Structure 1
Amino acid sequence: MAKISYYTEEGLNRLKAELNEMKTRGRTEIARQIAEARDKGDLSENAEYDAAKDAQGLHEMKISKLEEILSNARILDESSIDTSLVAVLSTVKIKNRKNGAEMSYTLVSEEEADLKTGRISVGSPIGKGLLGKKVGEMAEIKIPAGVVEFEVLEISRS
């Protein structure tokens, strides 16, 4: 059974644009590379041709994966998010109980995650550990460096 993922409208549009780019420019570029390599002679000993065909296979696999993701994508109605609990598209301000550091993250789908902009995946260890928590609750989260305890300070809509 396919896994349904929830996206912001912006994130879904970005995925659709990426798929369109791959189907148009990406395929055209690979076809050009194959034609160029084919023009160089004997295909049985043509490493460029083999590499271009491999690239074509990988490109088509990426297109297929993106099409599958989009077929199971849904836009999440942000107005329906309960801000009393941490959920997808919630912005959560948390405090590390050990060192007192405060940080703020927005929980998003895996494809929209970008740590530089404070967007973490609901499938990440921190994302999973925060889901369903309320303000004031503690979340013990196992990360590669060990177990970290976070206090949920604030929950808002992104």
Structure 2
Amino acid sequence: MTAEGYAALDVEMKRLKTVERPAVIQAISEARAHGDLSENAEYHAAKDRQSFIEGRLAELEDKIARAQIIDVSKLSGKQIKFGATVNLLDEDSGEKSKYKIVGEDESDVKGGKISVTSPIARALIGKEEGDVVEVMAPGGAKSYEIVKVKYL
């Protein structure tokens, strides 16, 4: 993953530990004060939220522990690989698009970040500027010309 993706996971983990976890503990204690727990919807909702938070924390801690951080600014070359920012031209519609190839946890198509495991990224890996790639998309095959490759 990129350093930016690692930082985002770390921020989420810290927020869950310092804000969400204490808030749900407070909510559980308030709900317990209302008495009978068997029919206490607030208590059950707070326990469900606590379960979600603890599960997400375990998932984040595992991902952070196994993360391999790649400094994209030190990458270069003509071939597209992880971390590349690629400008594409849709050969059918003439529409231009720009994507950065990132790890699965960082992907955000609306933000221009695609997962290295996505069909378009897999088609782009190993190609160079000027190449034309064909991507099998849910709506059918699409052809893109690689206009520019950068490592930011």
TM-score by length of 2: 0.91
How does 1:91-130 map onto structure 2 within 5 Å?
91-130=85-124
1:47 match: 41
CA distance in 1, matches of 2:110, 2:140: 22
1:67 match: 61
CA distance in 2, matches of 1:79, 1:56: 39
The root-mean-square deviation of aligned C-alpha atoms, in Å, is 1.5
CA distance in 1, matches of 2:110, 2:17: 28
Q: Number of aligned pairs? A: 152
CA distance in 2, matches of 1:130, 1:45: 55
Q: Indicate the SS of the match to 2:68.
A: strand
> Following TM superposition, where does structure 1 have runs of at least 4 consecutive aligned residues deviating by more than 3 angstroms?
none
CA distance in 2, matches of 1:41, 1:136: 70
CA distance in 2, matches of 1:131, 1:36: 53
Identity of aligned residues (%): 37
CA contact under 8 A between 1:81 and 1:87: conserved in structure 2? no
CA distance in 2, matches of 1:79, 1:21: 28
Aligned counterpart for 1:24 among listed residues 18, 21, 25: 18
- After superposing the two structures, state which structure 1 stretch, 140-149 or 73-82, moved more: 73-82
Matched, 1:139 2:128: no
Which consecutive residues of structure 1, in runs of 5 or more, have no partner in the other structure?
A: 1-5
Which consecutive residues of structure 2, in runs of 5 or more, have no partner in the other structure?
A: none
TM-score by length of 1: 0.88
1:156 match: 150
CA distance in 2, matches of 1:101, 1:46: 55
